[in-house]
C-alpha cells in the first residue's frame, strides 16, 4: 500500500481507528490486543526473518501484517519489559539495570530500583481505565513483591514469573542463580501442576482468562510472555528429534545461510556486510564429541522455538473459534537478542556446579533435568547477519524481529516490510492510539507520572511514512555500561569488557546493519556531536558509571553468590557449629589421653 501526503495519511488513520474496521468487523468495536513476547530470540530466528526454525504460526501473522526490520529493544530482558509496559526509557522506569546484573552500589538509587517503580504507569493501567480487560501470563521480571507484581500494575489477572527464567517442565528454578521459583497467581504464590510445559501452561492460562471474561463484552489486553528460549533451553523429545542432524554443519555455515535468507525475505539489504565474531570459535577445530554436543544444543533451541510457535497457533485458533481473531491486534517481538552465555564454558566451578545439579550429558540436552544453553557460536547465527548478542549494545543484542498484524483491518496490507527505525518505547503509545484510548501525558488518575517518550507507529503500519522518528532527534540507551545513541540512520555505540574495549564507534545502521564500517574517523563532526548528545542523555537520566572492573557475567555470579551461598551457610551454621564443637572436643580428648598415657 502506497499512501502519501496529509490527506492520505488521515484516511489511513481513520481506517485504523476502532470505529472503522474492515468489512468483516461489524458492529465496530475496540480491538483486542495480544502481545506475544519471546525470550532471547535472535533477529533471524523467525522464519519470516530468514530462519530455518519452523515457525509457521508467527510467519502467518507476518503474512497478515507488517514486519519491522529495524526495531530495537534493550540488551536484556527486564529493561525491555519495563519500556514495553510503560513507553518510558528504562532508567526512568526503575530498570537502569536488572536485579541479576546490578552492582550493590547502584541498587536503590533513582532509576536503579531493579523493579518497575511507581513513577511510571503501565499500558495495562491505561487500557483498563479505558474499558479493557487486562491479563498477563508468563515472565514478568519487573518485581516480586505484592506491590510490584502485575495485579498491582494494571492487570486484572496474572500468572507471572518474577525471575529471569525457570525450568520448563517442573516448578524448579535455575539452580545456578535462584534457590526457588517465584511464580505468582493473582499476586499470591502459585501452585503449578506437578508436570507441565511452560509455553503450553502460559497459553492455557491466557485462554482461560479470555474465556471467563467474554460475557462482559469488553475488549481485552492479553500479554503473553514466554520463557522460550531462555536458559534452560528445553523441549519435548518429538520436537528435538525433528531437528536431529540439522545443525551438524556448524554455526559458520548456518550464519551464512541465515544472511542469505534474511536478504531473500527482504528484511536485510542485499549487500549487507557481516563480521565473524571472535567469541564464536572455529567449528572446524572442534572434536567430534564437541560438535555433537553443540549441534544437539542448537537442535533443542530450535525445538523450543517450534513448541512456542505451536502454542501461538493454538491461541490464534481459539480466537478464530470464538470470533475474536479479525478484531485482534497481534504484536510479536523478542525482548533482546540471542543468549551467548553457556554455564558449561564459564569456568571450572560453574561447570562443576552445573554437572552437580543437572544431568549435562549430551544425550540429555534439552530434556527434563538438563541445563542446556545455545552457546556463543550458534547465538552468532541466531542474530545473523548482525554483530553481538544479548547484553551487548551491538545490533545483535538490540535489533529483534517485530510484527504487528490486525487481520480485520484493511488499512494494513499483509506481508509488507518497513525498514524505518522503531523502538520498544513506541509500542504503548501505538497500541493505545489503535485502541482509541487517550494516552497519559504526564499524569494518570490524578498523580504525576513519567511521560511516555515513544512515537506512534501507525503511519508505518499503513505505508504513509517510512519512519516516525526525526533524523535530528537523538535517542539514548545504556545498560551495564554498554551504551548507544541513535540519531537518524546513525548509531554511536560502546561496549565494556567482555563484550568490547570501551571505545566509542559510529555506524550507519541503515546501510551497514552488520556494524562492519566504523565511521568515527571518517565523520569526526558527527562522531563528536553524537557523543555530546549521549552525554546529555546520560546526565538527564541519571545514568551511573559502572564500578571499576565491572562486567555483567561477573556481577551475575557475585549476586548469585550472595543470594544463594551466604544464606545457605547461615542456614547451616547450627550444624556447622555442632560439628566444630564436636571436632574440638575430640581433639581435646585425644590430647588428654595421650598426656595421661
Domain definitions of the chain by residue range: 30-462, 475-540, 562-597
Structure confidence at residue 574 (pLDDT): 61
Q: Which of 457, 451, 463, 328 is nearest to 402 (CA)?
A: 457
Q: Which CATH number fits domain 475-540: 3.40.1710.10, 3.30.1120.10, 3.10.129.10, 3.40.30.10?
A: 3.30.1120.10
Dihedral sign, CA of 529, 497, 43, 425?
negative
Q: Three cell numbers at 330?
A: 497481534
Do you find a cis peptide bond into 229, omega within 30 degrees of 0?
yes
Interior angle at CA 594, CA 591 and CA 597, nearest 5: 150
Neighbours of 553 (CB within 10 A): 17
Q: Determine phi and psi for 135, rounding to 5 degrees.
A: -135, 150
Take residue 67 and report the three cell numbers written for it.
514486519
Residue in the block written with cell 506475544: 36
106 is catalytic: no
pLDDT of 6 higher than 50: no
> In this predicted model, which residue has the larger pLDDT, 103 or 279?
103
Dist. CA 503–CA 494, nearest whole Å = 6
Is 475-540 in the same CATH topology as 30-462? Answer: no
- Residue 466 has a pLDDT of 95
Say what the pLDDT of residue 278 is.
84
Of residues 518, 418, 503, the one with CA closest to residue 468:
418
The grid coordinates of residue 109 equal 538509587
Neighbours of 325 (CB within 10 A): 19
For residue 297, give the C-alpha cell: 544444543
**Domain 30-462's class?**
alpha beta
| pLDDT reported for residue 4 | 40
Contacts of 416 (CB under 8 A, 6+ apart): 1, 65, 66, 67, 463
> Which of the four pLDDT bands, split at 50, 70 and 90, describes residue 576?
low
H/E element, 40? none
Coil, strand or helix at 90: helix
| Confidence band of 594 (pLDDT split at 50, 70, 90) | low
Question: Could you give the CA distance from residue 239 to residue 302 in angstroms, rounded to a whole number?
Answer: 8
pLDDT band at 19 (very low <50, low <70, confident <90, very high): very low
Reply yes or no on whether the pLDDT at 108 is more than 80.
yes
Q: What angle do CA 460, 462, 467 make, to 5 degrees?
A: 15
C-alpha grid cell, residue 219: 475488549
**Whole-number Å distance between alpha carbons of 81 and 336:** 10
**Overall average pLDDT of the 331-356 stretch:** 94
Name the residue with cell 544464606: 567
Question: Which residues, 6 or more positions from 309, have their beta carbon under 8 angstroms from its beta carbon?
Answer: 54, 55, 56, 57, 58
Residue 562's CB is within 10 A of a number of other CB atoms, namely 10
Mean pLDDT of the chain: 92
Terminal Cα-to-Cα distance of the chain (whole angstroms)? 102
pLDDT of residue 347: 85
- Cα separation values, 54 from 46, 49, 170, 296, 562, Å: 8, 12, 25, 17, 41
Residue 525: is its pLDDT beyond 50? yes
Task: State pLDDT tens for residues 344-403.
Answer: 998 888 899 999 999 999 999 999 999 999 999 999 999 999 999 999 999 999 999 999
Sheet holding 490-494, edge to edge: 475-479, 482-487, 490-494, 505-508
d(CA 496, CA 473) in angstroms, rounded, equals 25
- The residue-averaged pLDDT of 435-448 equals 96
Tell me the pTM.
0.92
If one compares 348 and 251, the residue with the highest pLDDT of the two is 251
- In this predicted structure, the answer to whether residue 34 has a pLDDT above a threshold of 60 is yes
Q: Which of 366, 296, 299, 402 is nearest to 41 (CA)?
A: 402
> What is the per-residue pLDDT for 563?
77
Using an 8 Å Cβ cutoff, are 183 and 193 in contact? Answer: no
Catalytic residue among 72, 91, 115, 141: 141
- Is residue 326 classed as helix, strand or coil in its secondary structure? coil
Of 166, 224, 221, the residue nearest 37 (C-alpha): 224
Q: Which of 72, 77, 106, 423 is catalytic?
A: 77
141: annotated active-site residue: yes
Cell matching residue 340: 551467548
Max Cα distance, the chain (Å):
109
Amino acid at each position: 500500500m502506497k499512501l502519501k501526503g496529509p490527506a492520505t495519511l488521515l484516511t489511513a488513520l481513520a481506517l485504523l481507528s476502532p470505529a472503522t474496521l474492515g468489512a468483516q468487523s461489524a458492529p465496530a468495536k475496540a480491538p483486542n490486543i495480544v502481545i506475544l513476547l519471546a525470550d532471547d530470540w535472535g533477529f533471524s530466528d523467525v522464519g519470516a526473518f530468514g530462519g530455518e526454525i519452523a515457525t509457521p504460526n508467527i510467519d502467518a501473522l507476518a503474512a497478515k501484517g507488517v514486519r519491522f526490520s529495524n526495531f530495537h529493544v534493550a540488551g536484556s530482558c527486564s529493561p525491555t519489559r519495563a519500556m514495553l509496559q510503560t513507553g518510558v526509557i528504562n532508567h526512568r522506569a526503575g530498570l537502569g539495570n536488572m536485579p541479576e546484573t546490578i552492582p550493590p552500589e547502584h541498587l536503590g538509587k533513582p532509576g536503579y530500583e531493579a523493579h518497575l517503580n511507581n513513577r511510571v504507569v503501565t499500558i495495562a493501567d491505561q487500557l483498563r481505565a479505558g474499558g479493557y480487560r487486562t491479563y498477563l501470563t508468563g515472565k514478568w521480571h519487573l518485581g516480586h513483591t505484592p506491590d510490584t507484581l502485575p495485579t498491582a500494575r494494571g492487570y486484572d489477572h496474572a500468572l507471572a514469573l518474577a525471575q529471569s527464567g525457570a525450568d520448563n517442565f517442573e516448578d524448579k528454578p535455575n539452580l545456578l542463580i535462584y534457590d526457588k521459583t517465584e511464580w505468582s497467581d493473582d499476586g499470591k504464590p502459585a501452585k503449578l501442576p506437578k508436570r507441565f510445559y511452560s509455553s503450553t501452561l502460559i497459553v492455557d492460562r491466557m485462554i482461560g482468562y479470555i474465556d471467563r471474561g467474554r460475557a462482559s463484552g469488553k475488549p481485552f489486553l492479553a500479554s503473553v510472555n514466554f520463557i522460550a528460549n531462555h536458559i534452560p533451553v528445553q523441549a519435548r523429545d518429538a520436537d528435538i528429534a525433528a531437528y536431529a542432524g540439522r545443525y551438524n554443519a556448524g554455526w559458520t555455515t548456518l550464519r551464512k545461510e541465515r544472511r542469505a535468507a534474511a536478504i531473500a525475505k527482504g528484511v536485510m539489504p542485499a549487500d549487507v556486510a557481516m563480521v565473524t565474531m571472535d567469541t564464536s570459535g572455529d567449528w572446524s577445530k572442534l572434536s567430534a564429541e564437541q560438535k555433537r554436543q553443540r549441534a544437539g544444543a542448537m537442535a533443542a533451541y530450535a525445538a523450543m522455538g517450534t513448541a512456542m510457535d505451536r502454542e501461538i497457533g493454538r491461541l490464534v485458533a481459539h480466537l478464530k473459534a470464538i470470533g475474536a481473531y479479525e478484531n485482534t491486534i497481534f504484536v510479536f517481538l523478542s525482548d533482546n537478542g540471542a543468549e551467548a552465555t553457556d554455564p558449561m564454558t564459564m569456568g571450572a566451578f560453574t561447570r562443576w556446579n552445573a554437572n552437580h545439579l543437572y544431568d549435562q550429558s549430551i544425550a540429555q540436552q534439552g530434556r527434563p533435568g538438563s541445563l542446556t544453553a545455545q552457546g556463543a557460536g550458534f547465538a552468532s547465527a541466531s542474530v545473523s547477519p548482525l554483530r553481538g548478542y544479548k547484553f551487548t549494545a551491538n545490533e545483535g543484542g538490540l535489533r529483534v524481529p517485530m510484527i504487528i498484524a490486525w487481520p480485520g483491518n484493511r488499512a494494513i496490507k499483509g506481508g509488507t516490510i518497513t525498514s524505518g527505525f522503531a523502538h520498544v518505547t513506541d509500542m504503548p503509545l501505538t497500541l493505545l492510539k489503535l485502541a482509541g484510548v487517550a494516552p497519559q501525558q504526564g499524569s494518570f488518575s490524578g498523580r504525576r507520572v513519567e511521560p511516555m517518550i515513544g512515537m506512534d507507529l501507525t503511519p508505518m503500519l499503513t505505508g504513509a511514512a517510512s519512519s516516525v522518528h526525526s533524523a535530528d532527534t537523538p535517542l539514548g540507551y545504556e545498560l551495564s555500561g554498554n551504551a548507544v545513541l541513535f540519531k537518524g540512520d546513525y548509531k554511536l555505540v560502546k561496549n565494556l569488557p567482555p563484550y568490547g574495549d570501551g571505545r566509542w564507534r559510529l555506524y550507519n545502521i541503515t546501510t551497514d546493519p552488520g556494524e562492519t564500517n566504523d565511521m568515527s574517523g571518517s565523520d569526526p563532526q558527527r562522531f563528536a556531536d553524537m557523543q555530546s548528545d549521549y552525554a546529555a542523555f546520560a546526565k538527564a537520566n541519571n545514568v551511573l558509571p559502572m564500578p571499576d572492573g565491572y562486567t555483567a557475567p561477573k556481577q551475575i555470579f557475585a549476586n548469585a553468590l550472595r543470594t544463594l551461598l551466604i544464606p545457605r551457610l547461615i542456614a547451616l551454621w547450627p550444624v556447622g557449629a555442632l560439628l566444630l564443637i564436636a571436632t574440638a572436643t575430640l581433639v581435646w580428648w585425644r590430647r588428654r589421653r595421650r598426656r595421661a598415657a
